Structure 1
């Protein structure tokens, strides 16, 4: 049996699972708890809920082979430390691997969530069988995990794959602290920003927008609301996702030209809005990417969908058990 911790800014999960084959992990049980306590109280709560999870499934601690911890960065996987993630205020230089080893006396592996999700899709999802894979989160933010020559590539300081920081235009939605960044154009927050700009323009010109009728409603716009409107045929919403797809294509062309991957697996929003994004994305790729590299690269949505965070943490536990 294996245990995973999926640590996020709004909620955490403790997952109990098992690797039933080389290509499949099974989630046996999990507990979700809000991230609403100071850091050390929160970690203590994770440990207590681990004990509860084992107890209610009649699993002894001796049967646990490894623990995996997936958490938003920055962090140091080599030192086993969480280093001040922006979505986890107060989690500054936390030696969570050392603490967890001391608590459970089991091997523990820590990775940032994008790398963990890349490992999950590579081992158990859409990326099975490939040696060179790029995983893009495309959720609240835009991060990447890189599998190169059959190994996770994390870079000199664990910051490889921070593609959301790439500037794609001089002006545009802000993401990763940078206007016009990949994360600005292609993330849930970025799409919401773009929607606020476009809808404000339409409303001030006296035009109607089906998914937002008043200026005071602009702060409540979300990527999901815009996608739903686009699927209903709203012209403004379709335009927003077309622009997002254009910049997705620009970023993918850069990744294809630089890394020459076999497959790019894209999570979250891409899977839910693929038909809205793909036409503009493909148009740019046809124009911008090196032809041979582009033709050798498959682009597909993540297959682990809503379970990817759980499987990501458990995939790290499998690695930890093998150390």
Structure 2
């Protein structure tokens, strides 16, 4: 039975996991978490030490393949981490070469959105499809594209940067762009939008459940807005109505471009689906091509908060599949 290894590199924490494919998914047989700290060389050494510890506990000398998930920008073809904003100092790091030097097995690298798309496609809400779009909808908004039954990364790995699409000349800033898809549909974007609406209410002498004074504007979070909306606060509900409408507008672009069978959305959408789905569906019906929309369903990510456990393993599994193993 194949043994897969996954390495997930994040700005605050990293994880190493081992998994065995099963008839209906994958079984995680071991996992280590550790904080992201120190130089890239030191961090990679720690990750590989943890991997070897997991392999020893599983009674294996090495894994059949290793998959690595990391925030971009990356050069997946050359196995390089270029200079992710959440990983200062990780400039032109040859992560694939470092892993291959200690474990002489196939090693594959993908950005985190692509890795999560692969995970949801193989084991989650996208299972059974040949054409799927995955949206992160968390701190930022990134996309992973499964087209014709395989991951599509583009000419130099930059495909799927849906958050950079401008939906309006004005609006919250995301991906360095006013009114972008990420600006309207991300944790930071929701906070910005909610702050602008709260300021308007404060100027009218009214408070909101998530912000009672001008001094609190900088502390607004998507979580606080979501909780206020679920409790019935009208300004919070309006924030999420706008977010849902813009989400539908952005999804319509993806539906018209890629004609997917399924769009899977993670994190915030999964948690606030009852509030975001009605305006999103209304905008989709208004904006998307009817025949393309007729074959496309929109679902929350099935792996939920566990998706990070599967991201690196999904890259390893996809590498094996593409190599016919």
TM normalised by structure 2 equals 0.95
In the TM superposition, residue 320 of structure 1 has moved relative to its aligned partner by 3.5
CA shift, 1:85, in A, is: 1.0
1:189 and 1:127 mapped to 2: Cα distance?
26
Q: In the aligned structure 1, how far is the partner of 2:110 from the partner of 2:48?
A: 18
Verify: 1:192 aligned to 2:194, yes or no: no
CA displacement at 1:170 relative to structure 2: 0.4
Match of 2:133, SS? Answer: strand
Q: Give the alignment of 1:1-150 within 5 angstroms.
A: 1-21=3-23, 23-55=24-56, 57-62=57-62, 64-150=63-149
- Deviations along 1:222-266, one digit per CA (max 9) or x if unpaired, are 111111110110101100000000100110111111111111011
Secondary structure at the aligned position of 1:86 is classed as: coil
Quote how far apart the aligned CAs of 1:217 are.
Answer: 1.8
Contact 1:67 1:321 in 2 (8 A): no
Partner SS state of residue 90, structure 1: coil
Distance 1:195 1:106, change over 3 A: same
How far residue 151 of structure 1 moved from its aligned partner, in angstroms, is 1.3
CA distance in 2, matches of 1:236, 1:167: 24
Deviation of the 1:29 alpha carbon = 2.2
Aligned equivalents of 1:210, 1:317: Cα separation in 2: 45
What secondary structure is seen at the aligned counterpart in 2 of 1:61? coil
Cα contact 1:8–1:72 (8 A) shared by 2: yes
Where does residue 305 of structure 2 map in the other structure?
306
C-alpha distance in 2, partners of 1:188/1:70? 21
Which residue does the alignment assign to 2:263?
Answer: 264
Q: State the Cα distance separating 1:61 from its structure 2 match.
A: 2.2
> Per-residue displacement from partner, 1:39-80 (whole Å, max 9, x unpaired)?
21111111122223333x343224x21111001111111111
The CA distance in 1 between the partners of 2:48 and 2:217, in whole Å, is 41
* SS of alignment partner, residue 194 of structure 1: helix
Mapped to 2, the partners of 1:105 and 1:59 lie a distance apart of 18
CA RMSD of aligned residues (A): 1.2
Q: Deviations over 1:79-118 (max 9, x none)?
A: 1111111111111111110110001222111001111111
Contact 1:266 1:300 in 2 (8 A): yes
What is the rounded CA distance, in whole Å, between the counterparts of 1:98 and 1:36 in structure 2? 20
- For 2:284, the equivalent position in structure 1 comes to 285
Contact 1:11 1:35 in 2 (8 A): yes
- The alignment's TM-score, normalised by the length of structure 1, stands at 0.96
Unpaired segments of 5 or more residues in structure 2?
none
Secondary structure of the structure 1 residue equivalent to 2:6: strand
Contact 2:171 2:184 in 1 (8 A): yes
1:193 is displaced (CA, Å) by 1.2
Distance, in Å, in 2 between the alignment partners of 1:203 and 1:32 is 43
* Residues paired across the two proteins, number: 320
- Cα 1:58–1:278, aligned 2, differ >3 Å: closer, same or farther? closer
